[in-house]
Structure 1
């Protein structure tokens, strides 16, 4: 593997034991959890994630990677908590969903490289499944309504919209948050129970075809891999800048175990395995080898 840039190292992460302040369903089998973690809240940038375990429980032994959905300030304006949104699906997330307020969890992060804040006129977030989770922070930063991390620019887009798809209406989570943040919201469901009965890449293709020449467009995508691949192909055909947030399963989150590798195209045209947890999870779409 090629040498990692220093920004990708996990050396700057912190590990904390924080109490759960809120852990409630926000959709079908989907929960939003709030954890007291001021150091993490002050450092995280859009697209980064944390690893989480329930303190004192060794089954499951490994943590779970979850994107940071929101950061919450106290009454004085100081950042105090992080919010994570997760789908109750396996052993870890089922145990997490059963945790009561006051339960302590161990969290380490922030991890990963985060989204680029390359300027554009129009930011389009194309997401499916649980892939909406990193987008609230990103869209707010793009519009300049909030800033995150240290010395990171905001206000780099004139508009932000999200095209959000799920199998059915009950699986959509955070829609009111996105609307409240000033995003244009387009919903898609496989069964037509809400919004358009269409696939996210098809809606994106139509949207891109209507954009005036000279408009600087950026697309970011997260969700099922086949959806992200089609979004990437749509953007390539349209000549549009696209970044992908990979949801590769992780065990350590800090680059030790090599369980989360993805095929990434190198400058010489060949591909190499890169660790999603430290060299990602955000990759420029044209660098990904999907086969």
Structure 2
């Protein structure tokens, strides 16, 4: 099986490349059950972020909660002059920080720092399949748009149009928890929905839906899979890809406290060359994107 380029830790992933932005909540819309899309003006981040990177956000002027929350950048939109200005963050309301965000009125002051992490690579393919579950759809809208060539990201702008076809396989426990589906369909992705209870799409787990889809596709097609969501789901997606001899990247959702590589709270066991078969890597600076082959599940 061919292997995606192994990304060693490089200074470009450190937090000295980030911007700290003081802004306010412009939008905070319910897009699914307990799921919100938040928009803030952050031009310094919007103009440089690439798919798969994240930001840390906290509500300004309060120490409850004290630390920020890591959220993947879901989308970038431009102002009236066409300049990248706004970032959208999608989050599930389930903890102290997200509860505070969900109940904050428009105009609430927030502090955001980023972009952080390595982001997805632009390795070309015939078909990009994004296999996601839970809230794992959040880094995929930008990636799919870049792959199809409909939007560019980064400064300088990264290569785009590196895939001929983009698919999303998206699973949740029930229909109400599927968030942003219209955004993905509007971006012209092929969308397959899975629910545990069969209330929407097929009653199937994401790894099983992926395996079925791969079995349908031409064997000479260059396929690349990316996945994000619950760790057990990503592990099973990785197993499906390994069995099919297909490259797979995972976006780790390890809980973070600082987001800048200082606290070592977000480590994951990653395989490495050398006398030790693996080491703990910080998902905030050496990730959150890793080759599935490198992860010690």
Q: Establish whether residue 209 from structure 1 lines up as the match of residue 227 from structure 2.
A: no
Matched residue of 2:143: which SS?
Answer: helix
Q: Establish whether residue 77 from structure 1 lines up as the match of residue 82 from structure 2.
A: yes
Q: 2:183 is matched with which residue?
A: 177
Unpaired runs of 5+ residues, structure 1, are none
Distance 1:64 1:102 in 2: 19
Distance 1:232 1:223 in 2: 12
In the TM superposition, structure 1's runs of 4+ consecutive aligned residues that sit over 4 Å from their partners are: none
Greater mean deviation of Cα atoms: 127-136 or 212-221: 212-221
Work out which of the residue numbers 265, 268, 274 in structure 2 matches 1:259. 265
Return the TM-score normalized by structure 1: 0.98
Work out which of the residue numbers 273, 284, 289 in structure 1 matches 2:291. 284
Q: Establish whether residue 90 from structure 1 lines up as the match of residue 64 from structure 2.
A: no
Retained in 1: the 8 A contact 2:8–2:286?
no
Distance 2:215 2:248 in 1: 16
Work out which of the residue numbers 215, 226, 230 in structure 2 matches 1:224. 230
Question: What does the per-residue CA deviation read over 1:202-232, in whole Å, with 9 as the maximum and x for residues that have no partner?
Answer: 0100111122122110000000000000000
Question: What does the per-residue CA deviation read over 1:156-177, in whole Å, with 9 as the maximum and x for residues that have no partner?
Answer: 0000000000000000001000
Q: 1:38 is matched with which residue?
A: 43
How far did residue 102 of structure 1 move?
A: 0.9
Matched residue of 2:146: which SS?
Answer: helix
Q: Establish whether residue 133 from structure 1 lines up as the match of residue 138 from structure 2.
A: yes
Alpha-carbon RMSD across the aligned residues, in angstroms, is 1.1
Equivalent residue pairs, number:
289
Q: Establish whether residue 99 from structure 1 lines up as the match of residue 104 from structure 2.
A: yes
Matched residue of 2:151: which SS?
Answer: coil
How far did residue 7 of structure 1 move?
A: 2.1
Question: What does the per-residue CA deviation read over 1:35-79, in whole Å, with 9 as the maximum and x for residues that have no partner?
Answer: 010110001000000000000010111100000000111111111
How far did residue 267 of structure 1 move?
A: 2.2
Q: 1:233 is matched with which residue?
A: 239
Q: 2:4 is matched with which residue?
A: none
Distance 1:267 1:233 in 2: 21
Matched residue of 2:123: which SS?
Answer: coil
Greater mean deviation of Cα atoms: 71-80 or 215-224: 71-80
Work out which of the residue numbers 163, 166, 170 in structure 1 matches 2:172. 166
Q: 1:157 is matched with which residue?
A: 163
Return the TM-score normalized by structure 2: 0.96
Distance 1:3 1:150 in 2: 21
How far did residue 4 of structure 1 move?
A: 2.8
Distance 2:19 2:95 in 1: 26
Retained in 1: the 8 A contact 2:137–2:170?
yes
